[in-house]
Amino acid sequence: MTDFAPRSLLYVPGSNARALEKAPGLAADMLIIDLEDAVPADRKDDARAAMHAAVTAGFPDKRVAVRINGAGSAHQAADIESLAGLQIAAVVLPKVDAVADLEPVRGLHLPVLAMIETPTAIYAAREIAADPAVAGLIAGLNDLAHELKLSGGTDRGAMGHAIQAIVLAARAGGVWCFDGVYNAIDDAAGFAAEAGEGRRLGFDGKTLIHPSQVDLCNMAFAPSAREIVAAKALVAAATGGAQRYEGRMIEDMHVAAARALLARAGVA
C-alpha cells in the first residue's frame, strides 16, 4: 500500500462489463471490484472470471482491490482461489465480526480492508484493527443500520457512537478507516454534506457506489486551498516547542499535522 490513504474508493460490479471497461478512466483513488453484494448469486462465476481478466490486463496508475464474499458464504473459497497470484492492492473482506474471520484470507498475503458491519464487529473493531493483516477498516453502515433495526434505513445520527468507534479502533491500530456508502446517487448536495462530515469525523476517505460521486469525494477529503495556506503559514512561523501563534497556543504536534496536510496535498 502507498503512504497516503485513498480518498475515494469506488465499488465496481464484477459482473458489469461496461463498468469494468470505464473504471480505468475514472478519478477514483481506488477501485474495488465487487464480487459480493453487487453481483447476483447466479453470476458469481462470471464476475470472478471478469475480475481476473480485468486485473490481469491491468489498470494503469490505479490501486485496485477486490471485495470477496464474507464468512459463511458458499462463494468465499472460490473468490479467494481466484485471487491467487494477482497483483492487487488489497482484499476487501465483508462481515468481519472477529479476528477469526480473517483466517481464510491470510494465505493471500495481501493487505486486508475489513468491513465493520454489525454490533458484534463494533465491539471487536479494536482487535480487528490491531491484526497485522489489516490495513484498514471500512464502515459498512447499510448492514449496521439493518442490524440495529433503525427505521427508515441508514441514520447516521443514531449510529454516531458506532461510527466513532470505528474511527477510534482504526487510529488505535494505526490503520486507515473509510466511511460507508451514500445510497442516494442523484443527491449530489446530500453526498457532499455527508462526505464533509466523514472527514470531520476523522475518516481517511469514503466508499462509493456511483462514478458521479468520485469528484465530490476527492474534493471533500482533499486539503482545501485555505487549509494549505494556513498550514504553510503555521510551519513557517514555528520555532519549536510551545508558542503563541495567531491568538492560540501551538506545539510540535500541530506543526507535524500541518506538514502532513501539505504532504497529502503534494505541496513542499
pLDDT digit string, tens, across residues 207-226: 999 999 999 999 999 887 78
Higher pLDDT, 151 or 100: 100
- For residues 202 and 171, what is the distance between their CA atoms, to the nearest angstrom? 9
pLDDT value at position 265?
A: 78
All structural domains of the chain: 8-221 (3.20.20.60), 225-264 (no CATH)
CB 7 within 8 A of CB 20: no
pLDDT of residue 61: 86
Taken in order 244, 247, 250, 254, is the CA torsion positive or negative? negative
| Dist. CA 263–CA 194, nearest whole Å | 25
Q: Is 33 helix (H, G, I), strand (E, B) or coil?
A: strand
